[in-house]
């Protein structure tokens, strides 16, 4: 991306990576850099180094995020690049109160296609920004982990204890072997057999196997319709 003449917002700009980005972007010719951080002294120092604009800002407050964007666009102009560099750290591991967990904003969701089967004790994490997605006909065995923003293509089968790390993508008509772990941001092509840790494509899935995956999806659909037709309303009063 050509940064010349761009308006850029950088959060967490008081030091470290945020400050380094601000200095580099200024050297690349950015029109104006807005530096935001909860550390007022540090962010002022960064802004002074590059003739930028400093804002005291708390990433854990949604109102601060909205105000930062609104003020920037009103006083400087439309934002060309927003670098969400700031983060927060919470002590105590999982033993923290609900209010602390709420600071970690998750605005994505989970989308699940038709004829999907999810086994016992499997987990699908909601997306942090974009949705986590399961396509049509996906089959997850027991104890499968799907991390945030990951995508599983149509008619793909994941065997027990396999896992998909954040933002990884599996294509259509794939078979993920038992215990295989696909690493973060990895892209698995359509029609692949994946095995091992870390998960690697060992061969392509042949046409006969693909037809079997599709037939399996239709089988579960037929069972669903059959079971639904046999249900009766029971008066529990």
Cβ pair 104, 88 in contact under 8 A:
yes
CB atoms within 10 A of CB 206: 11
Cβ atoms 9, 72 nearer than 8 A: yes
Residue 56: count other Cβ atoms within 10 Å of its Cβ: 15
Q: In terms of Cα–Cα distance, which of 193, 122, 83, 28 is closest to 139?
A: 122
Q: Cα–Cα distance between 109 and 125 in angstroms, integer? A: 8
Contact between 59 and 86 under an 8 Å Cβ cutoff? The reply is yes
Q: Largest Cα–Cα distance in the chain?
A: 74
The answer to whether 150 and 167 are in contact (CB under 8 A) is: yes
What tokens appear for 158 in the block?
């994941």
In the residue annotation, 105 being an active-site residue is answered as no
Catalytic entry in 55, 105, 143, 148 = 148
Question: 50: which 2 tokens?
Answer: 């590059």
Instruction: Please name every residue paired with 169 in a beta bridge, in sequence order, or none if there are none.
Output: 151, 187
Q: Which residues are the active-site residues?
A: 148
């Amino acid at each position: 991306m050509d940064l010349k003449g761009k308006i850029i917002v950088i959060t967490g700009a008081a030091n470290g990576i945020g400050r380094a980005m601000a200095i580099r972007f200024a050297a690349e010719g950015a029109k104006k850099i807005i530096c935001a951080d909860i550390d007022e002294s540090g962010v002022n120092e960064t802004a002074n180094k590059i003739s930028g604009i400093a804002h005291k800002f708390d990433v854990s407050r949604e109102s601060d995020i909205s105000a930062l964007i609104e003020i920037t666009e009103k006083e400087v102009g439309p934002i060309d690049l927003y670098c969400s560099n700031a983060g927060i750290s919470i002590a105590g591991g999982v033993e923290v109160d609900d209010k602390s967990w709420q600071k970690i904003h998750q605005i994505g969701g989970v989308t699940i296609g038709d004829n999907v089967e999810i086994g016992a004790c499997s987990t699908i994490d909601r997306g942090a920004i974009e949705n986590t997605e399961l396509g049509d006909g996906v089959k997850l065995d027991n104890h499968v982990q799907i991390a945030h923003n990951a995508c599983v293509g149509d008619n793909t089968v994941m065997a027990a204890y396999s896992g998909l790390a954040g933002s990884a993508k599996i294509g259509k008509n794939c078979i993920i072997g038992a215990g295989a772990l696909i690493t973060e941001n990895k892209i698995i092509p359509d029609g692949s057999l994946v095995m091992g840790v870390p998960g690697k494509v060992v061969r392509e899935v042949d046409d006969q196997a693909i037809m079997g995956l599709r037939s399996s999806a239709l089988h579960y659909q037929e069972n669903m319709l059959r079971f639904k037709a046999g249900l009766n309303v029971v008066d529990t009063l």
